[in-house]
Structure 1
Amino acid sequence: MTDTSPRKVLITGGTGMIGTRLAEMLIDSGFEVALLSREPARSNHYHSFRWDVDAGTIDEAAIPYADYIVSLAGASVADGKWTDERKREIMTSRLGGLALLARELAKPGHHVQAVISASAVGIYGDAGDKLVTEETPPALPTQDFLADVSHQWELAAAPIAALGIRTVIPRIGVVLSTDGGALPQIARPVKLGAGAALGSGRQYMSWIHLDDLCRLFIAMLEDPAWHGTYNAVAPYPATNQAFTEVLAEVLHRPLILPKVPAFGLKLAMGEMSEIVLASQNVSAKKVLAQGFTFEYPELRGALGALYGAE
């Protein structure tokens, strides 16, 4: 007799922009979804389990519930200046959650088949024009906070893989969505007719439409052939200048201002200016070779789908 009950996915960081959309798309694909969060919300759609990463506590029913786990938990790198305290929070929120999952997954009595553990293309640092692949070594963490965070984040998933559980690490680029992340912040000045390229404008932005990212996650869950690291980016990265120009066209706004100088951004954003000034020309070849098809491979189509009605 075959088991026809829905496969169950447990998401950490499930109330964020990616987790929210992923949960919707999983349900549409016939999965059952539960969220692991500090403040479980009452929802008709999802089960909710409580955990407290700082205290090292987790609902004992959470891990036994799951067939798959998607780990997205981590404080946003784009909210507020990087004070020492903020940087600590960005790092520990990622590492603590994975340590807690690894501890629980080492116990018997669960049936977790695969874990997707998020990472970011920040691991490559400021790589200039060079096309980087999954084989490219991480940037030197001493000089680059985002590279350090991404590298430590990936190392924290290694104990899960060491348990023999299939572990997939998507290195996520700039996620395009009107519901959060970088895009609304980039689009705001453009909509006001005050858009401009940032810094030299020559730095590469490796991006992915939110729906493509969620479809990629679902493919990673469903097909056991996926394991190890993959760049979760669309096949055609754009320079910051090109990105800004296409966005202005899609929004039907002129670009009249000169570039926003790098020193001005550093003054306004501090070290966080790394997010917009670092250049990452990231290859999607490995994901394509695995048979994944992007719905939005090109920037104009992705931005048109998001802002088409405006």
Structure 2
Amino acid sequence: MERPKLILAGGSGFLGRHLARHFTQLGYAVVVLGRTARPGVVRWNGRTVGPWAAELEGAAVLINLAGKSVDCRYHAVNRYAIVRSRTDSTRILGEAVAACVTPPAVWLNASTATIYQDTREAQPANTETHGLLGRNFSETVAQRWEAEFNLAPVPATRRVALRAAIVLGTDGGALPVMAQLARFGLCTPQGSGQQCISWLHIADFCRAVEFLVARPDLEGAFNLCAPAPLSNHAFMALLDQHYRPRWHLPQPQWLLEIGAFLLGTETELILKSRKVIPDRLLSAGFRFRFSDCPTALADLLPRLT
């Protein structure tokens, strides 16, 4: 029997590698669309329709993760690239799907939990139904991204927007960097430490995507995060408990601003308060393996030591 095909656009990074492995183990034939052709990867530029579009014909699943990393300075050139890399790739995939005789049954497009406004501990958490959308750069990027996705003329294809929080894993994302810094005493609260962190174990990220693929009754935006956000202060305390460094270095906001400038990034990535709940996933019956952060870090941190 022929294996169902899954197309993974922009799938060469941390999340894409895990999804490719996960769905291959489930029996899918995974085809990655990437910038450089190699075995298992079909070349595309994310801007124009090309020979790669033939791969979508008859595919069971399309997942789009394409987009320039936000781990950079938000000057004009990078802002333009961040927006266009997301909207252009989504638009061109929509054109390619619309041209298919047998289009993919489901299209899952990356989005971000950063779409919601800065939400502090005392405020209600953001759900898909009652979340408050923000108006700053990162938040409007997410809204433009989802708008492009929703405008795609693909009536025969179910659409799901993945509003993913910070995904924790051992081979990519933020956790390896934070763990390395924690070993040297940078496991103190960042800034005030009162900002909320919404997070998700990489295993549950893959399982949630699998769950959404398998449920033809589910469409629209879904928050991909564990059901228990925590404060930055509490998260850093968990790192401190694990690594127990000999000294502790303070991380006031002014010092973080200097560090972000030297490293070519933005403090928003760690200082914005993201308080998000996966209300629709829970209502649909999804069950997390790692529903609280202490359990998730207990699984991941020993493999980073």
TM-score normalised per structure 2:
0.92
| Structure 2 counterpart of 1:170, from 162, 165, 171 | 162
Q: Percent identity between the aligned chains?
A: 28
Deviations 1:150-182 (A, max 9, x none): 111111110237524110112100110121211
Q: Which AA in structure 1 matches 2:171?
A: D
Structure-2 separation of matches of 1:195 and 1:275: 16
Label 1:229 to 1:255 Cα distance change in 2 as closer, same or farther (>3 A). farther
CA RMSD in angstroms comes to 1.9
Label 1:204 to 1:140 Cα distance change in 2 as closer, same or farther (>3 A). closer
Q: Does 1:62 align with 2:59?
A: no
**Partner SS state of residue 24, structure 2:** helix
Q: Does 1:265 align with 2:276?
A: no
User: Unpaired runs of 5+ in structure 2?
Assistant: none
By how many angstroms is 1:137 displaced? 5.0
Contact 2:128 2:279 in 1 (8 A): no
Q: Which AA in structure 2 matches 1:192?
A: F
**Partner SS state of residue 119, structure 1:** strand
Q: Does 1:301 align with 2:298?
A: no
**Partner SS state of residue 44, structure 2:** strand
Question: Within 5 A, what are the aligned runs for 1:113-262?
Answer: 113-129=105-121, 130=123, 131-136=125-130, 138-141=132-135, 144-160=136-152, 163-253=155-245, 256-258=248-250, 260-262=251-253
TM-score normalised per structure 1:
0.90
By how many angstroms is 1:196 displaced? 1.6
Contact 1:195 1:255 in 2 (8 A): no
Contact 1:64 1:109 in 2 (8 A): yes
- More off after superposition, 66-75 vs 285-294: 285-294
Contact 2:190 2:271 in 1 (8 A): yes
Label 1:86 to 1:242 Cα distance change in 2 as closer, same or farther (>3 A). same
- More off after superposition, 100-109 vs 167-176: 100-109
Question: Could you tell me which residue of structure 2 aligns to residue 75 of structure 1?
Answer: 68
User: Unpaired runs of 5+ in structure 1?
Assistant: none
Deviations 1:12-37 (A, max 9, x none): 11101000010001011111100111
Deviations 1:195-236 (A, max 9, x none): 221111010000001111011111111111221111100011
Contact 1:201 1:239 in 2 (8 A): yes
Question: Could you tell me which residue of structure 2 aligns to residue 51 of structure 1?
Answer: 44
Q: Which AA in structure 2 matches 1:93?
A: S
